[in-house]
Structures are given as C-alpha cells and as structure tokens.
Amino acid sequence: MSLYARLTGWIVLLFGLGYFFIPLLGLTEFSLKARRGVYSLDAYAKIIGDTEFQATFSYSVVMALVTIAFGILIVVPTAFWVRLKMPWARPYVEFLTLLPLVIPAIVIVFGYIRLYNTSSWLPLTGTVTGTNLLLAFGYTVLALPYMYRAVDTGLRTIDVATLTEAAQSLGAGWATILTRVILPNVLPAVLSGAFLTFAIVIGEFTLAALLDRPAFGPYLQRIGANKPYEPFALSVIAFAITWACMGLIQLVTRFSKHMKAES
C-alpha cells in the first residue's frame, strides 16, 4: 500500500472519530462546569446520588436482561432452523425481523395498548407485572433486528448444514446439536447481539414513556428538560455505558477470531 493511501486512510478515520468525539468533548467540558469558574464533578455526584437515577437505572438493567433472555430463546432456534431446513423462507424471516426498524415504536405501543387494555381479553396493562411483561415484549421486538442479524451472521461463518449432518452421523439428536455444536459456535455472535440489545434498552424512551414505566430513558428526558448541567453529565454517563458495551462487542469479536480460521 502506498504512503498516499495510508495517509488518506488515517485522515478519514480521524475525521470520522472527530465527528463523534468533538461534540462529546464539548458535552464533557460543559458537564464539568457546574461549579462556577472551576471544573468539578458536582453534576455527576448529584446524579449518582439521586435515588430516582438509581431506581430507573436498575429497572432498565433488569428489563434489558429479561429482553436478552427472550431474544436468545426466540432467535437462536429460529435462525438455525431457517438456515437448515427452510432456506426458501430466509428472505421472509429477514423481512419480518427488519419490520421493527421501520415501524415507529409509537405504532407498536398503540397496537399493544389497544390489544391488551384493561377491557380486552388479556388485560396486561391492568397490572404492574403485566405492563412490565408488555414492555419486555416491546423491547424484544425492538431488539429483534439486531439480535437476528447478529445470530444469522454468526451462523453464516459456520457450515450449519454440514456440521449438523456430521453430528447426526455421529449419533447426535437435535438437542445435542443445538447445545453442543451450534450454540458454542455462535456464542460470540449471540453476545454481541446481547450487548447491542442492552445499549438499546437502556436508552429507549418512547415505549417506556407511553407505558408509563419508571425506566432510565424517560428519566433522562425529564432531567434534560429541567436541569442546567445534569443532562450533560447524564449524557456522558449514557455514552460511557454504550461505549463499554461496544468495547465488549469488540472484545468478544476478537476473542471469537481465535477460535476460527479466517473466513
């Protein structure tokens, strides 16, 4: 590669990083200015000490974990089965999983409220547990595209059909094949889908607000509208969380490369 190409590469990369990090630096700098004239962590201390922050944040973490569990249970067997036995259905399934990306969340919520309101056949919105469950379902739908894509990409790196046949000829049944052959080989992909789900659930606003659940997204919004410095500190915290998730994805991806020949 010529020096010229290498240079162009670095400039593009720096530009891209700048695109994201300059706003962030501005944010961070401002968030440290809560005490007049000097830099301080006052805004951060105030937020972390806020019981509402603690409550909403832990609520959202629990919801994220539930969503991830739902997602894995639905997506892994489906994606496996579609790849193995119904390749003709792949475009349809892919189409289905793309829907949540383009249907505004608000449509999903209106639909749910209408279906499960207190006077319906299954009055989920009538109880707290029911509403929580509904929220988790909503989140699962929102996260579906990412989870499915991740798992499907993971499945693409292995030869599902031949590995399955090899395991069958060695005497393995379906349960053994799924747990001992397929799952271990797509684990990195599943984890990367899980981290993405986590980041999305933590930041989500519309669903939680419309179902009136005490999640982190609406809290972020509320603080943003009413306080001077705290929203910026919160943004930095939110960014740090997503950053950590992305870092974990990268780590997992790198780890998975040790387990495979270049594909």
Figure out which of the listed residues 25, 62, 110, 159 binds other proteins, where binding follows CB under 8 A: 159
Phi-psi region of 261 (alpha: psi -120 to 50; beta: other; left: phi over 0): beta
Contact between 85 and other proteins by CB under 8 A: the answer reads no
CB of 81 to other proteins, least distance (A): 16
Q: What's phi and psi for 175, nearest 5 deg?
A: -60, -45
* Among the listed residues 226, 208, 235, 206, the one whose alpha carbon sits nearest the alpha carbon of residue 56: 208
Q: In 10 A of CB 166, how many CB atoms?
A: 13
Which part of the chain contacts a copy of itself (CB under 8 A), choosing from 82-90, 125-133, 169-177, 183-191? 82-90
Contact between 184 and other proteins by CB under 8 A: the answer reads yes
E strand intervals along the chain: none
Q: Of residues 152-181, which lie at the interface with a copy of itself (CB under 8 A)?
A: none
Q: How many angstroms separate the CA atoms of 176 and 172, rounded?
A: 6
Q: How many angstroms separate the CA atoms of 197 and 245, rounded?
A: 10
Are residues 43 and 229 in contact, defined by beta-carbon separation less than 8 angstroms?
yes
For other proteins, give the closer residue by CB, 6 or 260: 260
Residue ranges of the alpha helices (H) in 103-127? 105-116
Q: Of residues 60-79, which lie at the interface with a copy of itself (CB under 8 A)?
A: 78
Are residues 115 and 107 in contact, defined by beta-carbon separation less than 8 angstroms?
no
CB of 251 to a copy of itself, least distance (A): 12
Figure out which of the listed residues 60, 97, 185, 235 binds other proteins, where binding follows CB under 8 A: 185
Contact between 246 and a copy of itself by CB under 8 A: the answer reads yes
Alpha-carbon Rg for the chain, nearest whole angstrom, is 22
Contact between 49 and other proteins by CB under 8 A: the answer reads no
For a copy of itself, give the closer residue by CB, 81 or 178: 81
Are residues 255 and 188 in contact, defined by beta-carbon separation less than 8 angstroms?
yes
Q: Of residues 109-138, which lie at the interface with a copy of itself (CB under 8 A)?
A: 110-112, 114-115
Structure tokens at 136: 């988790």
Instruction: Give the one entry of a copy of itself, other proteins, none that residue 259 binds, where binding means its C-beta sits below a cut-off of 5 to 8 angstroms depending on kind.
Output: other proteins
Figure out which of the listed residues 66, 167, 208, 233 binds other proteins, where binding follows CB under 8 A: 167
Figure out which of the listed residues 11, 14, 16, 54 binds a copy of itself, where binding follows CB under 8 A: 16
H helix count then E strand count, the chain: 12, 0
Contact between 132 and other proteins by CB under 8 A: the answer reads no
* Among the listed residues 31, 24, 41, 23, the one whose alpha carbon sits nearest the alpha carbon of residue 230: 31
Which positions lie near a copy of itself, rule CB under 8 A? 1, 5-6, 8-9, 12-13, 16-17, 19-20, 22-24, 26-27, 30, 78, 81-82, 85-86, 89, 91-93, 95-96, 98-99, 101-104, 106-108, 110-112, 114-115, 141, 146, 196, 199-200, 203, 205-206, 217, 220-221, 224, 231-232, 235, 238-239, 242, 245-246, 249-250, 253
